[in-house]
Structure 1
Amino acid sequence: MGRGRLEVRHLKTVTLQHLSCPGARQAPRVIRWRKDLTSNKITIERLYFVTSLPPGAASGARIAAWIRGHWKIENQLHHVRDTTFAEDASTIRAGRLPRVMAGLRNLAISVLRQDGRTNIAAAATRHHARHPGRPLAALGWT
């Protein structure tokens, strides 16, 4: 229970034998039930993963930790890229430019995190945008 919700997760893994994905050995499935404690709304999500681990190579707790680690990366990087830099709304689609822009966004986020910023939108980008010398100082170039 946390963040105003009650959450229950169920992890199940299935051994794969006939899948056209080279190296795939197992497919973990997570079913997540959430109840919002303010609205009493219940949501159910089914998440599927594929791994090259052979059956029995990792415990359910270990697989669950890897899945949580994946979401940590998702929340720390991709969510910030979309919400702060509006990446999904970008109209840049030609050639290598989308990849270049993603790299520049990743660089900006990494530099701001190394500078000790945790709230990239409020504290970091707005703070740095007000004074053009701050990004250079964060990079150690001044």
Structure 2
Amino acid sequence: MTAKRECKGKVTEETRYFISSLDATDPKRLGQIVRAHWGIENNLHWVLDYAFDEDKQRARIGNSDANMAIVRHIALNLLKAEKTSKVGIKTKRLKAGWNETYLLKILLGTS
């Protein structure tokens, strides 16, 4: 798959290779599937970076970076499951830090 990117007026192009068990007889469909997958991945990364400032995390000793990534994913899933507050993930996270009752509602999954 060839990918084009424009940044600050400069266009770059690169070839990307993928390994898949999908049928490669329809390259257009395969390209759509790959783009959809990376759209989901990029969206998840954006939410984690916006709500948890993940890009600034500096845990680097042993497995601490992987462990903290798991904790952030668990927290994200708990926050997404909480449906009574109609605000974004970042606001829910902050609200849970300020309000122990709301934090317990998230952790216990109660309405």
TM-score, normalised by the number of residues in structure 2: 0.70
Superposed CA deviations along residues 97-134 of structure 1, whole A, max 9, x for unmatched, are 1111000000111111122467322x322232221221
Q: Structure 1 runs of 4+ off > 4 angstroms? A: 41-45
The number of residue pairs the alignment matches comes to 108
- The question of 1:74 aligning with 2:46 is answered no
- Counterpart of 1:97 in structure 2: which amino acid? S
Q: Could you list the runs of 5+ residues in structure 2 that have no partner in the other structure? A: none
Paired residues for 1:26-41 under 5 Å:
29-32=1-4, 41=9
* Bigger Rg, structure 1 or 2: 1
Change (3 A) 1:137 1:63: same
**Deviation digits for residues 58-77 of structure 1 (CA, Å, limit 9, x no counterpart):** 52232123222322332332
Structure 1 residue 52, shift from structure 2 partner: 3.6
Inter-CA distance 58–108: structure 2 relative to 1 (3 Å threshold): farther
**Please, which moves more after superposition, 89-98 or 108-117?**
108-117
Paired residue secondary structure (1:94): coil
Point out the more displaced range, 59-68 or 101-110: 59-68
If the length of structure 1 is used for normalisation, what is the TM-score?
0.58
- Which 5+ residue runs of structure 1 have no aligned equivalent? 1-28, 36-40
* Secondary structure of 2:14 counterpart: strand
Percent identity over paired residues:
26
More strand by share: 1
Higher normalized helix content (fraction of residues): 2
